[in-house]
């Protein structure tokens, strides 16, 4: 076997390890053993082999293969590979023992093995070992290596030694994104969110992990709105990453492997979730090879944008290419539901080989509400409440449905019961990104510094769209004073998404698209209003609500009013 073939065998083993292809990996192992190729010196095959077993969760075989490597061939990389495998798969004590053994046997310790050791210390939050390792690293001159310092900072950070983290960080002359992110993580955890935010704002460069640390920090402390705002900002700021990825996708085709399919699929999904269904479709069509995940991403993207007709049209093409799975099923079901084919959807759901989950039931309930199917809705709601008693949205949806049917007696009873149990509607919040910062509004919000301008803009907007045919839809609302039309209309007019859009109209240049994020679903009235605003003001308005994107343009919405 030629040298190149060893490389190929190693590549295959790595793929098998990465994607958990157990059978093929083991078969390859057998071939290599029986053909005697495994014994070839300097092939690094044994290393790839035991790495494969470690990644498959079979640490025993991995260790056995490691032990079988002849001493003359076992180098420090083999030792470090085992060390990192122990660490990665949670055998932390074994990992520690191995490092001690390495020192005893005078195996060469290099920067990589020290990084691995610090990884273990960090996971164990073992300061004692960390300090010892720190000493070794200093003596051997490893503290000039950024990665060593990052790993060491993480040890101190996990153990709460914030000042030591900062000291090492300051001493570092070339700080990487990871260095900054470790500091950020430490500060958020021990110095609090505000200090963390300062570090975050100071950072010269950020990656996905950085954003995640900050968002997770907000979420963990219960600052849901700040987390939401930051997410919105992240989507906005990271857009260039998508452009780069698209270029990569364009080059696909010469050699199609699992990874390029996944890159493409991630793109299809990303573009759809960012409100750009056209780019999503473009990438999908560009891909030379697709798998069932790609198709599902495309379908749920289309569903999210209300393009159900397209899914149905494309379905036969899909069946020819790949075998649909349960996720495809969910996506198609969702469509049927939106299109008002509730009975078909429910039958399909009941025949599924897996019991319906909350997502499926929730989407069906949503469909019932759009199409006024009260009895089915009641039945499904009961199942949902059993699944997650804490979720208030289903109750609110039901009471709105009864309100729409004019059954105010039932609505009052339901709302009274909800109040008694302490169930309150989650307040609706909308964020808009304008001129580099995020602005958040709640319904009837008057806390914004430019609140006066915003409300006078709101009056202007309402007037202009009224003369273009907008009629406030008060059917789904019950105001405190029965039959008080004016009150109802006022409540509708200052919904958070309307305020956000008015601010956007004030703050951005004509014809700039407006991007709004909302934590709940957009209401019917706002939906109708936005359509007219987009026409009257010649603005594209993209609202991401809890379920989907609504792209309002020239008087209509991309969701085709499946709402």
User: Interface with DNA by CB under 7 A: which residues?
Assistant: 3, 6-7, 10, 42-44, 47-48, 51, 75-78, 80-81, 84, 87-88, 110-113, 115-116, 118-119, 122, 145-148, 150-151, 154, 176-179, 181-182, 185, 207-210, 212-213, 216, 220
Beta strands in 76-137 (DSSP E): none
Rounded to the nearest whole angstrom, what is the least distance from the CB of residue 158 to DNA in the complex? 7
Contact present, 127 and 160 (Cβ < 8 Å): no
β-bridge partners, 434: 437
Rounded to the nearest whole angstrom, what is the least distance from the CB of residue 145 to DNA in the complex? 5
Rounded to the nearest whole angstrom, what is the least distance from the CB of residue 152 to DNA in the complex? 9
3-state secondary structure 453-502: HHHHHHHHHHHHHHHCCCCCCCCCCCCCCCCCHHHHHHHHHCCHHHHHHH
Its sign, for the CA torsion 140, 146, 147, 151, is positive
Through-space distance between the first and last CA atoms of the chain, rounded to whole angstroms: 62
Identity of the residue, 55 or 454, whose beta carbon is nearer to DNA in the bound complex? 55
Identity of the residue, 177 or 256, whose beta carbon is nearer to DNA in the bound complex? 177
Rounded to the nearest whole angstrom, what is the least distance from the CB of residue 202 to DNA in the complex? 16
Identity of the residue, 149 or 345, whose beta carbon is nearer to DNA in the bound complex? 149
Identity of the residue, 1 or 250, whose beta carbon is nearer to DNA in the bound complex? 1
Identity of the residue, 7 or 487, whose beta carbon is nearer to DNA in the bound complex? 7
Sheet containing strand 541-544, strands side by side:
437-442, 429-434, 514-518, 541-544, 549-553, 556-557
In which element (H, E) is residue 438 found? strand 437-442
Rounded to the nearest whole angstrom, what is the least distance from the CB of residue 538 to DNA in the complex? 40
Instruction: Tell me the two tokens of residue 202.
Output: 């100071």
Identity of the residue, 14 or 448, whose beta carbon is nearer to DNA in the bound complex? 14
Identity of the residue, 186 or 534, whose beta carbon is nearer to DNA in the bound complex? 186
Rounded to the nearest whole angstrom, what is the least distance from the CB of residue 102 to DNA in the complex? 10
Rounded to the nearest whole angstrom, what is the least distance from the CB of residue 130 to DNA in the complex? 12
Distance (Å, whole) CA 517 – CA 424: 22
User: CB-based burial of residue 196 (10 Å sphere; 0-12 exposed, 13-18 middle, 19+ buried)?
Assistant: buried
Query: Of the candidates 541, 562, 448, 532, which has an alpha carbon nearest to the alpha carbon of residue 497?
Result: 541
Rg (CA), the chain: 29
Instruction: Tell me the two tokens of residue 563.
Output: 């709402």
Identity of the residue, 49 or 514, whose beta carbon is nearer to DNA in the bound complex? 49
Rounded to the nearest whole angstrom, what is the least distance from the CB of residue 5 to DNA in the complex? 10
């Amino acid at each position: 076997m030629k040298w190149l073939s060893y490389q190929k065998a190693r590549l295959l083993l790595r793929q098998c390890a990465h994607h958990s292809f157990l059978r093929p990996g083991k078969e390859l192992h057998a071939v290599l053993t029986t053909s005697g190729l495994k014994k070839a010196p300097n092939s690094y095959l044994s290393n790839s082999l035991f790495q494969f077993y470690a990644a498959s969760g079979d640490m025993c075989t991995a260790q056995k293969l490691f032990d079988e490597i002849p001493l003359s061939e076992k180098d420090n990389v083999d030792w470090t590979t085992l060390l990192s495998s122990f660490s990665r798969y949670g055998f932390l004590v074994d990992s520690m023992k191995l490092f001690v053994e390495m020192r005893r046997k005078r195996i060469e310790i290099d920067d990589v093995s020290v990084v691995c050791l610090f990884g273990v210390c960090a996971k164990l939050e073992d300061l004692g070992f960390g300090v010892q390792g720190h000493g070794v690293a200093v003596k051997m001159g490893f503290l000039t290596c950024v990665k060593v310092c990052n790993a060491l900072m993480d040890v101190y950070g996990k153990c709460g030694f914030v000042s030591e983290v900062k000291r090492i960080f300051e001493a570092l002359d070339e700080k990487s994104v990871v260095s900054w992110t470790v500091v950020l993580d430490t500060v958020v955890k021990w110095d609090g969110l505000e200090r963390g935010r300062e570090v975050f704002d100071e950072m010269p460069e950020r990656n996905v992990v950085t954003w995640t640390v900050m968002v997770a920090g907000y979420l963990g402390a219960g600052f849901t709105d700040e987390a939401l705002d930051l997410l919105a900002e992240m989507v906005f700021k990271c857009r260039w990453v998508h452009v780069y990825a698209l270029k990569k996708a364009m080059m696909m085709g010469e050699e199609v492997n699992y990874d390029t399919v996944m890159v493409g699929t991630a793109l299809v999904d990303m573009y759809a979730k960012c409100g750009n269904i056209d780019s999503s479709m473009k990438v999908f069509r560009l891909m030379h090879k697709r798998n069932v995940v790609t198709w599902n991403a495309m379908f749920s993207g289309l569903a999210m944008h209300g393009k159900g007709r397209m899914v149905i049209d494309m379905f036969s093409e899909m069946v020819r290419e790949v075998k649909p799975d349960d996720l495809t099923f969910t996506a198609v079901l969702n469509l049927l539901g939106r299109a008002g084919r509730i009975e078909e959807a429910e039958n399909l759901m009941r025949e599924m080989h897996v019991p319906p989950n909350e997502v499926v039931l929730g989407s069906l309930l949503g469909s019932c509400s759009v199409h006024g199917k009260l009895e089915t809705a009641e039945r499904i709601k009961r199942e949902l409440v059993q699944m997650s008693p804490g979720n208030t949205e289903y109750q609110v949806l039901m009471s709105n449905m009864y309100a729409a049917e004019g059954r105010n007696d039932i609505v009052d009873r339901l709302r009274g019961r909800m109040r008694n149990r302490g169930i309150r509607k989650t307040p609706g919040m909308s964020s808009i990104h304008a001129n580099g910062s995020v602005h958040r509004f709640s319904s009837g919000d008057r806390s914004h510094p430019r609140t006066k301008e915003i409300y006078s803009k709101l009056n202007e907007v309402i007037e202009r769209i009224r003369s273009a045919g907008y009629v406030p839809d008060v059917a789904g609302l019950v105001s405190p004073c029965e039959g008080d039309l004016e009150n109802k209309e006022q409540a509708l007019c200052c919904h958070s998404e309307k305020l956000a859009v008015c601010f956007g109209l004030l703050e951005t240049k004509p014809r700039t698209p407006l991007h709004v994020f909302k934590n709940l679903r957009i209401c019917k009235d706002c939906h109708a209003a936005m359509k007219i605003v987009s026409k009257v003001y010649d603005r594209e308005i993209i609202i991401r609500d809890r379920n989907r994107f609504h792209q309002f343009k020239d008087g209509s919405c991309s969701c085709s009013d499946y709402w």
